[in-house]
Amino acid sequence: MSILKERFDVAVIGAGPAGSMAAKYAAKSGANAVILEEHPAVGWPVECAGLLGLGALAESELPDSSFVLRKIKGAAIYSPGGNRLDFKAKDPRASVVDRRLFDRAAACEALHEGVEMRLCSPVRRIRREGDESVLSLGGGDEIRASIVISAEGVRGRLARQAGIMPPELVLSGAQVEVPFAVEDPESLEVHLGAAPGLFAWVIPTGEETARIGLCARERGCEHLKRFLGQEVIRKRILGSATTINVGGLPLGPPPVTVAQGLLVVGDAAGQVKPTSGGGIYPGLVAAKIAGGVAAAAAMEGDGSAQRLQEYDRIWRANLGRELEIGMRANRMLNRMSAKECDELVNYLAGRPALIKTIEEHGDIDRPSSLMIKMLFHLDWDGLKLAGLLRYALG
């Protein structure tokens, strides 16, 4: 069996949005970059709800929006006891996308910058030889690179082997796409208390289709099955599921996201919003930084962990506080009883000024800005909510 040895400045493991963006920015910075994707097609399998905020779409830098299925302006939030809060902005605040098309569009942008793509190229292991990393691929081939960027997803096997700690918490996610009686095609649904860990969602993909899913601390599929059986959902399902997706949701980045010759981005680095479970926005922001730092380090011939710490410092300066606030908000939500969730949703539903604030300033990519603004609209009856917001904001 022949062994193919090639050398690149930067090798990126994984062709998801973060991996493609990291490779793109490495190439834009003058590096010779390659993406190593284990699957035979970019964008598969899908392990995402496919809801992107305005920030994520802007960070993607994609020239067209053919991957967008629907625009979202609002949401209906349900408490465990059935209380409901509705809000809807004048303009779209998020988009429902086809993740396969989105991922492929992001990969094509990287290829346009001169990045090379290798499909069916699982990386089995990485060893450091002098100033280079040697990546052993399936089939016996090897590739050499000055710097490696791990964008391998939530499992992060190679990152863990390099000594990068796992994220603080990994939730179990499950989702189905079904024919569904959509109440408002421009609004999604959030169901609090559906499972310990996060919440359940209903995201319309058409006039009569929706993605229904949730994330739980464990056994996401079992929790989803129970949620689909609840009357509020069951009576609106119009047929059998056409798609089932399962995956892990990493929350809480590790203390360090670099090692000698290696940077870690996206899900493998726990760069996911703990308030919504979205990883595209923070992953893209961090990936641009990773690509630039990796290219500079490769051309300097310095792959030391100390040199690569620049990436860790910059991405935390951009995203660290937002993710920390999100983790506190997630813990706060999980500590609340069903009764407390009912009271909170009921309180918000009866405050038009607060609803207007949500409609005007809601941002799923950087929710802390809304939390701060909400504090200025709380009266004496909202002292408990104010305390919760202050806890989340630190």
Residue 37 has pLDDT above 50, yes or no: yes
What does the pLDDT read at residue 347? 86
pLDDT tens, position by position, 126-154: 999 989 999 999 888 999 999 999 999 99
Quote the pTM value: 0.92
Phi, psi of 145 (to 5 degrees): -150, 145
Beta bridge partners of 72: 94
Q: How far apart, in Å, are the Cα atoms of 227 and each of 92, 234, 348?
A: 28, 8, 24
> In degrees to the nearest 10, what's the CA dihedral of 283, 62, 187, 249?
-20
Residue 69 has pLDDT above 80, yes or no: yes
Residue 377 has pLDDT above 70, yes or no: no
Share of the chain above pLDDT 70, in %: 94
Residue 361 has pLDDT above 50, yes or no: yes
Q: Where do runs of H (alpha helix) occur along 188-304?
A: 220-228, 231-234, 280-300
Phi, psi of 45 (to 5 degrees): -80, 155
Q: Where do runs of H (alpha helix) occur along 336-367?
A: 338-349, 352-361
Q: How confident is the model at residue 382 (pLDDT cuts 50, 70, 90)?
A: low
Residue 383 has pLDDT above 80, yes or no: no
How many CA atoms does the CB half-sphere of 177 hold within 13 Å? Answer: 16
Classified as helix, coil or strand, 56 is helix
pLDDT tens, position by position, 186-228: 999 999 999 888 899 999 999 999 999 999 999 999 999 999 9
Task: Report the candidate in 236, 214, 235, 217 with the shortest Cα–Cα distance to residue 225.
Answer: 214
Question: What one-character DSSP code corresponds to residue 364?
Answer: S
Judging by DSSP bridges, how do beta strands 74-78 and 84-88 pair with one another?
antiparallel
Highest mean pLDDT among 103-107, 342-346, 370-374: 103-107
Question: What one-character DSSP code corresponds to residue 269?
Answer: G
